[in-house]
Amino acid sequence: MNKQSGSGAVIQSFGAKLGIVALNAGTGIVTARLLQPAGRGELAAILVWPQFISGMITLGMPSALTYHLRKRPEASGSLLSASLLLGSLISIFASLVAFFLLPHFLHQYSPAVTRAARWVVLNTIVSALILITRAALEARGNFSRSNLSLILPPSLALLGLAILAVTHRITPMTAAVCYIISGLPSFVIALAGVRDLLRGFVLPFLAAARLLFSYGSRSYGIEICSTLSLYIDQVFVVAVLSPSRMGAYVVALSLSRVLLTLHQSVAAVLFPRAVGMDIHEVLHLTGRALRVSMAFSLLGSGAMILSGPILLSVLYGKSYANVNAPLQILALEAVLSGSVTVLAQAFMALNRPGAVTVMQAVGLAITVPLLIALVPRFGVLGAACSVFLSTLARCAMTYASFRFILRERAPDFLPRSEDFRWILERSQTLIYRKLIPSNP
């Protein structure tokens, strides 16, 4: 398997995700300004379904594939082929079900928007397979290709949107086509990066499937919680609020998600690195990852809260200036959500995903009643408060799980002086390696 230093992989993943953030900001600015809040809300109503559904139907296979490829590399062909076949069958079934059910969720949108959303939901198949192939890439340490598969779609989408804007043909429907087409090359690149794993079929299909489901059934709850925490508010807002208010909420939410970049980069590297370590090594690695990512995300959150009105007006236009309060709440929520993502990797690496699944599910179950109670009354602000309170509960329960499940003290949130020294030392080492390459 390809190898890359942990800090180097994090830096590379963080750099790629920063690029993605910049590209997504570009696409968001173009669509928000040209489509205005109502059009931006219609575009969100079309695009949210493939991402939401693909995250809900994984059955834990991406994390199970990562775990078992690290533990049993000799069975890579059997494991990868089984996960791709199962992922294809499940996503085809789910997309067909959603195709017929979507009109019931989008009753307040125009027939044209509903038709577009129904056809776009078929892209769930590609979205699900990308999750599986990227898991295989990261399991073997090939973060370069994984990051390329992440950064290519927003690059192509921005190019397509720019062409539509110049030719004055941008509508919610044409913009949606740009987003969908831009994801296809990403799947090809990710699949090409793991094609050499499709050999060495040492396990029959049923045996490989049982291995995947054994781990996946316990980690599936975590993936459902992660997906729901990202999309349940949007799905609910789509069904309850007008397109213009949906557009305003999506702008505030997308801007706040910038703060998740470092946490996601750390988590993507932490899980495959920690598999196989003993519990004390895993906790040490998780603690440092949490504290370092928390330090930077708190700085980013503070800056966003202070500059929110300026950012919204300058980047997206004055029509979005009224969502500053939801943005501030969502900025704080992003810091907590990122910390939950990092902490969960310890349980994943220690083969204890099922226990934390229950704790996170209880916290996330708070979201739906909060959305029902707050969104109709307070609109966009109610949605932001619902997400924050739910994430706060998930964070508290995940933190408590270290003591009650692993019987160990949970990692500290606040960074220590030794963490900053470690950052400095690793930065100096990486710079030295770049400037003075080692002899072959």
Tens-digit pLDDT profile for residues 318-366:
888 788 899 999 999 999 988 888 888 888 788 777 766 777 777 778 8
Residue of 115 and 415 predicted with greater confidence: 115
**What pLDDT does 319 receive?**
83
Instruction: Categorize the per-residue pLDDT at 423 as very low, low, confident or very high, splitting at 50, 70 and 90.
Output: low
Residue 1 pLDDT level (bands cut at 50, 70, 90): very low
- What's the rounded mean pLDDT across residues 57-79? 84
Q: How confident is the model at residue 3 (pLDDT cuts 50, 70, 90)?
A: very low
Q: pLDDT value at position 59?
A: 84
Given a contact cutoff of 8 angstroms between Cβ atoms, the answer to whether 49 and 98 are in contact is yes
Choose the weakest-confidence range: 177-181, 263-267, 397-401: 263-267
Q: Report residue 348: phi and psi, to 5°.
A: -65, -45
Q: What is the mean pLDDT of residues 240-251?
A: 88
pLDDT of residue 12: 61
Poorest-confidence range of 59-63, 82-86, 182-186, 433-437? Answer: 433-437
- Looking at every residue in the chain, the average pLDDT score rounds to 83
Residue 351, sorted as left (phi over 0), alpha (psi -120 to 50) or beta, turns out to be left
Q: Which long-range contacts (CB under 8 A, 24 or more apart) does 274-279 make?
A: 274/345, 274/346, 274/349, 274/350, 275/66, 275/67, 275/70, 275/71, 275/349, 276/70, 276/71, 276/349, 277/349, 279/350, 279/406, 279/408
CA distances to 43, 135, 157, 177, 203 from 182, in Å: 15, 20, 6, 8, 35
Question: Which residues, including other chains, have CB under 8 Å from residue 439's CB and lie 6 or more apart?
Answer: none
Q: What whole-number distance in Å separates Cα of residue 173 and Cα of residue 59?
A: 31
The pTM assigned to this predicted structure is 0.74
Question: Which two structure tokens, joined as six digits, stand for 164?
Answer: 């539509």
User: Residue 420: pLDDT band by 50, 70, 90 thresholds?
Assistant: low
pLDDT at 29: 86
pLDDT band at 419; cut points 50, 70, 90:
low
pLDDT band at 388 (very low <50, low <70, confident <90, very high): very high
Check residue 432 and give its pLDDT. Answer: 52
pLDDT value at position 161?
A: 92
pLDDT given for residue 440 in this prediction = 44
439 pLDDT tier (thresholds 50, 70, 90): very low
Burial (0-12, 13-18, 19+ Cβ within 10 Å), 278: exposed
For the ranges 11-15, 108-112, 147-151, 393-397, which has the lowest average pLDDT? 11-15
Query: Which one has a higher pLDDT value, 53 or 200?
Result: 53
In which band, very low, low, confident or very high, does the pLDDT at 159 lie, cut at 50, 70 and 90? very high
Decide if pLDDT at 6 tops 60: no
Q: Name which of 62, 202, 77, 71 is nearest 138 in CA terms.
A: 62
